[in-house]
Amino acid sequence: MSTTVRPSASQNTSAPGNRGNAAPALSGVLRAAARDSKLKGLVTHIGAAQLAIQGPDAVWPFAVGTVAQHAPVLVITATARQAEDLTEQLKAMLGDEVELMPAWETLPHERISPNVETVSQRMKVLRRLHRQSAGELGESETRIRVVVAPVRTLVQPIQDSLGAVTPVHLAVDQEVEFEQIQHELVERGYSAVDVVAKRGHFAVRGGILDVFPATGELPVRVEFWGDEVSDIRPFSVGDQRTIPGVELDEVTVYPARELLITDSVATRAGELAKEHASHAELADVYHKISEKIAVPGMEALIPSLHDGELKLLPEFLPEGTHTIVLAPAAVERRAADLKETGEQFLEAGWEAAAMGADAPADGVAYVSVAAARHAQATLERPWWTLSPLGMLDSDEGFDGDALLLDYDAAPQPRGEMEAIEQMMADIRTRVEAGGRVAFAAPTPTVAARMLRRFHEAGIAAEAVGVDLRGQRGIGRQATSKATPDQEPAPKKVSIYHAVAHDGLVFPMAGGEQPSLLFLTETDVTGNRVEAAATGKRKPAKRRNRVDPLALEPGDLVVHDSHGIGKFVKMTERTVGKGADASRREYLVLEYAPSKRGGPGDQLYVPMDQLDLLSRYVGGEKPALSKMGGADWKNTKRKARKAVREIAGELVQLYAQRQAAPGYAFAPDSPWQREMEEAFPFTETEDQFNAIEAVKTDMEKPVPMDRVIVGDVGYGKTEVAVRAAFKAVQSGKQVAVLVPTTLLAQQHMKTFRERMQDFPTRIAELSRFTTPAQSKEILKGLAEGTIDIVVGTHRLLQTGVTWKNLGLIIVDEEQRFGVEHKEHIKSLRTHVDVLTMSATPIPRTLEMSMAGIREMSTILTPPQDRHPVLTYVGAQEDKHVAAAIRRELLRDGQVFYIHNRVKSIEKAAEHIRSLVPEARVVVAHGQMSEEQLETTVEGFWNREFDILVCTTIVETGLDISNANTLIVENAHHMGLSQLHQLRGRVGRSRERAYAYFLYPKGEVLTETS
């Protein structure tokens, strides 16, 4: 969405690297770096047909930026993430002269259309390039100097006419036919709805048009007076109210589809429907398009429906464009994988092809990198490569010069205090000697924090072009009068508001200019700033329900009427006689023998009575129950008595809580609001309500005891983060209790990232904590030098004392043992308690329903989530390989469910043979807790691509980067179980896929 914002005191439209019409934040830093002799050498090669460059990753943005000051540049990366990261960094140097040309996240012939956000961004770039080449840009409009694209964009041909498609443009006081605007939106792929909630939607109410531009952060409300636009304002999806104090002068709405169903396209589709009449499915698709009905995945048919030519991206770019391929070996591999996987999906994507017939559409969806390179050579434009150090491009056809950009990396203490102190000493020495230091801070808060840190170290420092108003402890003199387009000043540290990942040292050989040290937040703290919020969240896993397919001989189960037995096997028996005979499946359980020395009694449990069974979850190995005896009845009677006693204690406990004087936390502080505004996502209505309820409880003089219930990934952790920060603001300590070490590590990471800009001391206490560290942490808790501690049950052990404990946050309470729950219970009358769970235990729900414990539910999924696309079909190796590779192509991960422990290693080996390039790891419930946690943590950290596992993932893991699920023998699982499994994917903005497979040739029953 392109908008002009009217001045408003309440609206801050700044963004890292490029704020309004101001110079890009790092433009002066780029100008200074380009004076270094090595980058100067790069400029001398401008116009050379070929050049092979080597240099560390950190120099790549500077190298591209240097070239872009002299010629247009097309940068090709291996992956979409690399393209997004590089675009963010280049925008900090060159501003709006940089554009990202994203690739479709879907494969051709996958029968799914690309996301509207992706399509609209592509249409925006092509439109800008078209107007630029046609000389249509106004004096105030910026020319594109750099286009960044993943290789997938490079090798996929594009319709030559897309740049000529005009977007819908509306401006205040503009006269336009109201109905014509609606017609144009529909033509450009927008859908008419009752209430606008997603990008690509519009709604009409009287003289008001609501539209959510596909490239916009917020939808806009356009009010008409007759046929004249009287007002344009952004509004919130949640409450549908306009944003106070913000008015727009204009809005540009780019198309949401690349295949626009024009009259000529509809006519051509009608002709093709007749040509392919023998292929009913394909003919139906063409027929719908001929009726101007948009069909999911119809973009795959562009080659057959488009009247014009298909061109490669370089052909859309200005004369003299230099193509620079980053990490060319990786780009070549990714392009080859893309072509192979695209062909696999073409073969698997149509019913006729799956049955052995010829593929019904053109299979040449992608060209090779060599073909793209040839197209660039035909246009007589340079083709350069930029490789990591030690990996010089060595194409057989290479006939050019080589250039080495061997810069030293900046100091990287990565959060280690001693290393940070040494880095500060080195910077002080450098500055005192007349050197220059530039620091890129991703937020104004980080800029303020680093400014204070430099001053405390006795180093001259100032913020350049950063708005530090309202930042604590920062005087007016801290902001420089210099502007970002000026080179960093000598003898001081210049701090900029920009995103960058790794620093460098520019020696400025020759002595003409003082040396330049470029530092980033990543160098100092180790925290890498993502180019765009991806919603990466923490995994959690919980014990699964009784599943007969997961039972192994010898497993203990509990029958409601007969007690504890041992699983023997599954079997079939004939029930009834003659015409009434039928085969039924049973679970065979073994119980204690009725006679001493005799064989154990056996019980046959029909599959329709599985609700009478549950897994034995006790901590000790029990004796088997006797069938028909009184032992099990006595055991249950004693349990009921104990439950009644516990219930009485709990009622008394909660009565004491209401009578006990609690601590009333202070209202939100400015820091609280600052921390909450830094949340990189939009809160859902349920999440916002839960946050407000928790804050209200905390501000009451009665101890809080609230349960937050919500599915994994729905934002419960953010509720906990805000509650913890509120407690710390009132001088209280916070304990965050989690059941596993893995969760402790992930929560620790989240809390640190969210509170890194504030003086909050956070520690972790788990089995990964060394004895020396544990001793120091316990001392800090007792003395009050630690504000928040994230830990496992070790926090509940004796010897843990607190200076001023005010809040306990318990994640997945049902997974703690009885003793641990008793300890937690004893603390409830003294401090506020916040419990989080995706599957609360029945007792917790009962207490909540009875009003003993307050409960908030988060039922709304985060914004921008897409529904999981589900496929059911026969298992074939080529289809499995294609599904895995399509996920790997977007740097994603895969859950592969094989629900037999005995053969899971064999299944993993088979996957390794199908996709040799993938990193495969195995996880199942019979592994030790430590081994299982280590394996899952490695998968979460992206050390592996495929997790071959049993249904342990059914109701627990939340790994936002894993968005493909493949389930073997899905016909053996229940519908609810498949639903739970499918819920493991689709937890980010990426489109997710679930494949439920059954053996080829298997005849499914009606139930299956």
Q: Tell me what pLDDT residue 527 has.
A: 61
Q: Phi first, then psi: what are they for 583, rounded to 5°?
A: -95, 135
**CATH code (residue 135):** 3.40.50.11180
Boundary (domain end) residue, out of 525, 548, 581:
525
Q: Tell me what pLDDT residue 827 has.
A: 63
DSSP state for residue 488 in the 8-state scheme = P
For tokens 């206490």, what's the residue? 765
Q: Please name the residue ranges forming H helices in 301-432.
A: 302-305, 328-349, 351-354, 369-378, 417-432
Measure the CA–CA gap between 129 and 918, rounded to whole angstroms. 38
Q: By the 8 A CB rule, do 4 and 474 touch?
A: no
- In 88-206, DSSP assigns E strands to 98-100, 146-150, 158-159, 168-171, 191-192, 201-205
Measure the CA–CA gap between 163 and 154, rounded to whole angstroms. 16
Q: Is residue 806 part of a domain?
A: yes
User: Is it the case that residue 542 has pLDDT exceeding 50?
Assistant: no
In the chain, what is the greatest distance between 2 CA atoms, to the nearest angstrom? 102
Q: What is the mean pLDDT of residues 678-691?
A: 79
Measure the CA–CA gap between 28 and 38, rounded to whole angstroms. 18
Q: How many domains does the chain have?
A: 5
Q: Is residue 854 part of a domain?
A: yes
Per-residue pLDDT tens over the stretch 885-918: 888 888 899 999 998 889 999 999 999 999 998 9
Tokens of 618: 């006790």
Measure the CA–CA gap between 480 and 463, rounded to whole angstroms. 6
Q: Please name the residue ranges forming H helices in 857-962.
A: 877-888, 904-914, 929-940
Q: Is residue 756 part of a domain?
A: yes
Do 174 and 150 fall within a single domain? no
Q: Phi first, then psi: what are they for 591, rounded to 5°?
A: -120, 175
Other Cβ atoms within 10 Å of 480 Cβ, number: 18
Taking phi over 0 as left and psi of -120 to 50 as alpha, with beta for the rest, 752 belongs to alpha
Strand duo 893-897 + 946-949: pairing:
parallel
Measure the CA–CA gap between 977 and 854, rounded to whole angstroms. 30
Boundary (domain end) residue, out of 191, 219, 253:
253
Q: Tell me what pLDDT residue 539 has.
A: 33
Tokens of 810: 């318990």
User: Is it the case that residue 989 has pLDDT exceeding 70?
Assistant: no
The side-by-side arrangement of strands in the sheet containing 2-5 is 2-5, 248-253, 168-171
Do 392 and 435 fall within a single domain? no
Amino acid at 188: R
For the ranges 104-113, 569-578, 998-1007, which has the lowest average pLDDT?
A: 998-1007
SS3 757: coil
Do 932 and 950 fall within a single domain? yes
Q: Tell me what pLDDT residue 502 has.
A: 86
User: Is it the case that residue 73 has pLDDT exceeding 90?
Assistant: yes
**CATH code (residue 213):** 3.30.2060.10
Do 839 and 876 fall within a single domain? no
Per-residue pLDDT tens over the stretch 116-166: 888 999 999 999 999 998 888 887 788 999 999 999 999 999 999 899 999
Do 376 and 464 fall within a single domain? no
Tokens of 60: 């790549």
Give residue 579's pLDDT band: very low, low, confident or very high (50, 70, 90): low
Among 231, 178, 168, smallest CA distance to 205 is for 178
Q: Phi first, then psi: what are they for 334, rounded to 5°?
A: -65, -40
For tokens 């944003």, what's the residue? 243
DSSP state for residue 407 in the 8-state scheme = P
Higher pLDDT, 731 or 22: 731
Per-residue pLDDT tens over the stretch 768-801: 788 888 889 999 999 999 999 999 877 877 778 8
Measure the CA–CA gap between 170 and 227, rounded to whole angstroms. 12
Q: What is the pTM of this model?
A: 0.67
For tokens 């793209």, what's the residue? 372
Q: By the 8 A CB rule, do 179 and 160 touch?
A: no
Q: Tell me what pLDDT residue 977 has.
A: 66
Q: By the 8 A CB rule, do 340 and 885 touch?
A: yes
Tokens of 858: 């988060």
Q: Is residue 635 part of a domain?
A: no
Q: By the 8 A CB rule, do 921 and 947 touch?
A: yes
Give residue 990's pLDDT band: very low, low, confident or very high (50, 70, 90): confident
Per-residue pLDDT tens over the stretch 355-408: 334 444 554 468 888 888 888 888 889 999 999 876 655 454 566 788 999 898
Measure the CA–CA gap between 485 and 491, rounded to whole angstroms. 18
Do 739 and 827 fall within a single domain? yes
Q: Is residue 409 part of a domain?
A: no
For tokens 């053969």, what's the residue? 903
Q: Tell me what pLDDT residue 355 has.
A: 36
Q: Is residue 612 part of a domain?
A: no
- Helices and strands in the chain, H and E counts: 28, 41
Tokens of 102: 């994203």
**Composition of the chain by helix, strand, coil, percent to 5:** 35, 20, 40
Other Cβ atoms within 10 Å of 943 Cβ, number: 11
The side-by-side arrangement of strands in the sheet containing 854-858 is 762-765, 788-791, 733-737, 805-811, 832-837, 705-710, 854-858
Other Cβ atoms within 10 Å of 280 Cβ, number: 10
Give residue 510's pLDDT band: very low, low, confident or very high (50, 70, 90): low
Q: Is residue 531 part of a domain?
A: no
- Residue range(s) defining the domain that contains residue 971: 869-999
Among 1001, 910, 882, smallest CA distance to 348 is for 882
For tokens 């968005």, what's the residue? 963
Contacts for 130 with CB less than 8 Å, ≥ 6 apart: 163, 164, 316
Torsion of CA 777, 779, 784, 790, to 10 degrees: 20
Taking phi over 0 as left and psi of -120 to 50 as alpha, with beta for the rest, 971 belongs to alpha
Write out the DSSP string of 260-280.
---HHHHHHHHHHHHHTTTSH
Do 178 and 159 fall within a single domain? no
For tokens 């920062």, what's the residue? 474
Q: What is the mean pLDDT of residues 532-539?
A: 36
Give residue 297's pLDDT band: very low, low, confident or very high (50, 70, 90): confident
Q: Residue 929: CA atoms inside 13 Å, Cβ hemisphere, count? A: 9
Q: Residue 405: CA atoms inside 13 Å, Cβ hemisphere, count? A: 32
DSSP state for residue 910 in the 8-state scheme = H
Q: Tell me what pLDDT residue 350 has.
A: 45
Do 146 and 222 fall within a single domain? no
Among 851, 681, 835, 665, smallest CA distance to 750 is for 681
SS3 142: coil
Per-residue pLDDT tens over the stretch 266-276: 999 999 999 88
Measure the CA–CA gap between 931 and 924, rounded to whole angstroms. 10
Q: By the 8 A CB rule, do 259 and 179 touch?
A: no
Boundary (domain end) residue, out of 189, 218, 253:
253
Do 178 and 147 fall within a single domain? no
Above pLDDT 70, what percent of the chain? 80
Q: Tell me what pLDDT residue 322 has.
A: 95
SS (H, E, C) 715-754: CHHHHHHHHHHHHHHCCCEEEEECCCHHHHHHHHHHHHHH
Helix axes 328-349, 369-378, angle to 10 degrees: 120
Q: Based on the number of CB atoms within 10 Å of its own CB, is 934 exposed (0-12), middle (13-18) or buried (19 or more)?
A: middle
**CATH code (residue 960):** 3.40.50.300
Give residue 967's pLDDT band: very low, low, confident or very high (50, 70, 90): very high
Give residue 978's pLDDT band: very low, low, confident or very high (50, 70, 90): confident
Do 136 and 184 fall within a single domain? no
Helix axes 60-68, 80-94, angle to 10 degrees: 50
Measure the CA–CA gap between 734 and 715, rounded to whole angstroms. 19
Measure the CA–CA gap between 589 and 556, rounded to whole angstroms. 9
Q: What is the mean pLDDT of residues 470-483?
A: 66
Do 160 and 211 fall within a single domain? no
Mean pLDDT of the chain: 81
Measure the CA–CA gap between 45 and 70, rounded to whole angstroms. 11
Other Cβ atoms within 10 Å of 429 Cβ, number: 11
Q: By the 8 A CB rule, do 619 and 818 touch?
A: no
Is the CA virtual torsion 832, 836, 837, 838 positive or negative?
positive
**CATH code (residue 440):** 3.40.50
Q: Tell me what pLDDT residue 108 has.
A: 66
Do 203 and 326 fall within a single domain? no
For tokens 């994507």, what's the residue? 349
Tokens of 922: 């195995």
Among 813, 812, 809, smallest CA distance to 834 is for 809
Q: Is residue 19 part of a domain?
A: no
**How far from 707 is each of 105, 701, 806, CA to CA, in Å?**
38, 18, 17
